[in-house]
Amino acid sequence: MNDLNSRLKSEINRDGKNFQIIENGITKLKGQYPKWYSIGNLQFHYNNKTFNIKKKSFWGLNLLIEENGRSLGEVVFSFTKGREVHLKDGNSKLSKYTLKSKKTGKWYVNQRQYSLYKDNTFPILTIFHQVNNWKLNYKFEFIEKEKPNYVLLAIAFFLMNLSKADRASAGGGI
């Protein structure tokens, strides 16, 4: 990891509902899960803007991503592909992102590496997840070091937590 990426760290509240992404002692992004019983909704703040990720409908599996109440994209779920993020950029061009994970380290160590891919071709960012003494540790590494995208980081963090919940409900560390 280079100098920029080693300065990115996360602080997570004890119950795991609030988190912050900190760079050089400055809070870049704050996020919270508004309801104590659900990790299906996320609200985070970045650059004086409020972003929400919430269910699109009561029975559906798709999620809506909003920026100050305006639709920015959605998280689409399919049983064959898993979760895929569809985001609109400034020129209304649709970009697709997927989060892939792989287990790192020994079989008895809880370590995972999550990579966010744009259009299934190249990684945008990598999240290293490790549990030490019942404490969650995260390290973040942006591939494009000149212009890190913290909104994508928050969305990837959200997808990572959904993926962890899916693995936990499956009855083991799959």
CATH number of the domain residue 38 falls in:
2.40.160
- Domain membership of residue 28 as a residue range: 3-169
60 assigned to some structural domain: yes
Give the pLDDT confidence of 24-76 residue by residue, as tens digits: 888 889 988 887 677 678 889 998 999 999 988 888 889 999 999 888 999 99
Number of domains making up the chain: 1
For the segment 136-158, the average pLDDT, to the nearest whole number, is 85
Judge whether 69 and 79 are in contact, CB under 8 Å: no
Chain position carrying tokens 């993926």? 163
Asked whether the predicted pLDDT for residue 3 surpasses 50, the reply is no
The confidence score (pLDDT) of residue 85 equals 92
- Length of the chain as a residue count: 174
Judge whether 15 and 30 are in contact, CB under 8 Å: no
CA pair distance 71, 66, nearest whole angstrom: 4
174 assigned to some structural domain: no
Asked whether the predicted pLDDT for residue 142 surpasses 80, the reply is yes
For the segment 70-93, the average pLDDT, to the nearest whole number, is 86
For the segment 93-122, the average pLDDT, to the nearest whole number, is 88
134 assigned to some structural domain: yes
CA pair distance 119, 84, nearest whole angstrom: 10
Output the average pLDDT for the chain.
83
CA pair distance 37, 40, nearest whole angstrom: 9
